[in-house]
């Protein structure tokens, strides 16, 4: 398992100097940065983390009831199934929404803060639940291919229904807790789209998988591959 600085060096070499650095996220008993309350979708507040200023979410900071649920800070509000189905029209029935949330098996966190910080602001990978990339299609080509390099599992990379916070946080945290291998594509949710780039999706790696993927990074096509070099050249334009 490589350290933070070694990973950044390899990541820059593989994806180019213009590729945005990923965010690390994990829970703690103390905030790593003062963060004001975020009304609506908390992804609008993560732009600060992308700019290098850490963000510490909590039940008090997150203004969205769904956001509190999917980060493990609160139980499901009674209104959520009907709201997601009848107002947002993301599922045919409220019962389908409830079944979806039940299947996620979200566990309430016993720590009051969920921190996001750009990887170059971290000293180590201690207490990290997942690594969160804002990724363009060209970047997804590299990230997905890297995840498939040492795995023939059909679910090595998955795309599942859910809000931005469920696909980035809930699913990644649950996968890490079980020591799983799945990486997640997300940010397809129309409600989160206004707060991310028009050509961006999310790619999250649970730390349980990241620890093994870093060992294979320099062996895969991301280094010394004619095909990838063409993509990397476009990434650097």
| Amino acid 89: pLDDT | 97
Cα separation, 89 vs 86, in Å, equals: 5
DSSP helix/strand/coil, 162: coil
Q: If you average pLDDT over every residue of the chain, what do you get?
A: 97
What is the structure's pLDDT at 1?
A: 81
Position 154 pLDDT exceeds 90: yes
Round to whole Å and give the CA distance between 158 and 160: 6
Q: DSSP readout, 55-117? A: EEE-TTTB--HHHHHHTTSSPPPTTHHHIIIIIS--SSSHHHHHHHHHHHTPPPPSSSEEEEE
User: By C-alpha distance, which of 231, 234, 18 is closest to 142?
Assistant: 231
User: What three-state secondary structure class fits 139?
Assistant: helix
Q: Average pLDDT for residues 162-188, to the nearest whole number?
A: 98
Residue 116: beta bridge partners?
25, 55
Percent of residues, the chain, with pLDDT higher than 90: 98
Residue 105, CA atoms < 13 Å, CB-side half-sphere: 7
Whether residue 26 has pLDDT greater than 90: yes
The answer to whether the CB of 88 falls within 8 A of the CB of 77 is no
pLDDT above 90: residue 201? yes
**For 77-129, how does the pLDDT look when each residue is reduced to its tens digit (9 = 90+)?**
999 999 999 999 999 999 999 999 999 999 999 999 999 999 999 999 999 99
- pLDDT score recorded for residue 170: 98
Is the model's pLDDT at 229 over the cut of 90? yes
Four-point Cα dihedral 180, 54, 109, 86, nearest 10: -90
d(CA 113, CA 26): 8
**144: exposed, middle or buried (C-beta count within 10 Å: 0-12, 13-18, 19+)?**
middle
Region 139-164 average pLDDT? 97
Number of domains in the chain: 1
What value does the mean pLDDT take over residues 204-215? 97
Determine the pLDDT at residue 218: 97
Name the DSSP letter for residue 166.
Answer: I
Tell me the C-alpha distance between 189 and 195, whole Å.
11
Please check the confidence at residue 228 and state whether its pLDDT lies above 90. Answer: yes
Q: Are strands 157-159 and 183-186 parallel, antiparallel or unpaired?
A: parallel
User: What is the domain extent for residue 53?
Assistant: 4-235
Nearest to 203 by CA among 13, 53, 23, 18: 23
Dist. CA 61–CA 169, nearest whole Å: 16
């Amino acid at each position: 398992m490589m350290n933070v600085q070694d990973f950044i060096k390899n990541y820059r070499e593989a994806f180019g100097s213009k590729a945005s650095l990923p965010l690390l996220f994990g829970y703690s008993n103390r905030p790593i940065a003062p963060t004001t309350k975020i009304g609506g979708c908390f992804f609008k507040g993560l732009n600060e983390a992308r700019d290098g200023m850490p963000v510490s979410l909590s039940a008090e900071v997150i203004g969205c009831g769904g956001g509190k649920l999917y980060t493990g800070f609160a139980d499901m509000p009674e209104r959520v199934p009907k709201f997601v189905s009848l107002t947002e029209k993301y599922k045919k029935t409220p019962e389908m929404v409830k079944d979806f949330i039940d299947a996620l098996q979200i566990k309430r966190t016993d720590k009051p803060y969920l921190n996001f910080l750009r990887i170059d602001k971290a000293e180590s990978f201690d207490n990290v639940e997942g690594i969160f990339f804002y990724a363009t299609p060209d970047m997804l080509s590299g990230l997905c291919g890297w995840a498939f390099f040492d795995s023939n599992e059909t679910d090595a990379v998955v795309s599942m229904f859910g809000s931005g916070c469920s696909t980035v946080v809930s699913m990644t945290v649950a996968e890490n807790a079980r020591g799983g291998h799945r990486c997640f594509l997300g940010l397809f949710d129309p409600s989160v789209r206004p707060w991310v780039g028009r050509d961006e999706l999310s790619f999250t790696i649970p730390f349980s998988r990241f620890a093994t993927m870093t060992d294979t990074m320099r062996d895969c096509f991301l280094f010394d591959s004619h095909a990838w070099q063409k993509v990397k050249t476009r990434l650097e334009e």
